[in-house]
């Protein structure tokens, strides 16, 4: 059985993440969508909110399970979940350069763990969680960028 992890902060989850998972769900038997929390970062949504949003948005993908972890090595998360692959989405050349370096570092920790890169759909290669938050702050249209549940959660969060 092929098992992958798709780790990230997902603050918030975007349509780009969903499209990557839809495509990857056809390649792997099981994918763990791992919502990570890095104690060095500030988040708009706390970990439980990010997990809840991910579960709502990913409920239609039967072989994707949402889990959460706090600061730890990605390799350790893969071992814990018995995954053989780390799934990473790439939007552009900068993502590739960064992710290639991370994949090489992961190989120093476990030479058997493979990183699989999936190119973003060109129509969504510009979407990032950071940009989504900025658009939301200024009241922009999020319809094509995030699921409806995420757009509503962003609006509510920004009203608080």
Asked about 69 being catalytic, the answer comes back as no
76 Cβ neighbours under 8 A, 6+ residues apart: none
CA distances from 83 to 57, 77, 153 (A): 22, 8, 31
Asked about 41 being catalytic, the answer comes back as yes
The answer to whether 18 and 147 are in contact (CB under 8 A) is yes
Catalytic residue among 2, 41, 79, 82: 41
Catalytic residue among 25, 50, 69, 129: 129
Asked about 55 being catalytic, the answer comes back as no
Q: Binding site annotation covers 49?
A: no
Q: Binding site annotation covers 17?
A: yes
Catalytic residues: 17, 41, 91, 129
Residue stretches of the annotated binding site = 9-10, 17, 41, 74, 88-91, 99, 124-130
Residue stretches of the annotated binding site for ATP = 9-10, 17, 89-91, 99, 124-130
């Amino acid at each position: 059985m092929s098992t992958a992890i798709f780790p990230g902060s997902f603050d918030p989850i975007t349509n780009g993440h969903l499209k990557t998972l839809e495509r990857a769900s056809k390649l792997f038997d099981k994918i763990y969508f791992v919502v990570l929390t890095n104690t060095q970062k500030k988040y708009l949504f706390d970990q439980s909110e990010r997990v809840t949003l991910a579960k709502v948005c990913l409920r239609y993908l039967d072989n994707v399970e949402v889990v959460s972890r706090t600061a730890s090595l990605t390799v350790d998360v893969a071992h814990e979940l018995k995954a053989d692959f780390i799934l990473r989405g790439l939007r552009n050349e900068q993502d590739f350069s960064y992710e290639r370096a991370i994949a090489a570092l992961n190989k120093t920790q476990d030479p058997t763990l493979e990183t699989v890169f999936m190119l973003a759909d060109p129509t969504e290669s510009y979407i990032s969680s950071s940009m989504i938050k900025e658009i939301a702050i200024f009241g922009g249209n999020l319809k094509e960028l995030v699921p409806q549940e995420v757009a509503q959660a962003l609006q509510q969060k920004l009203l608080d």
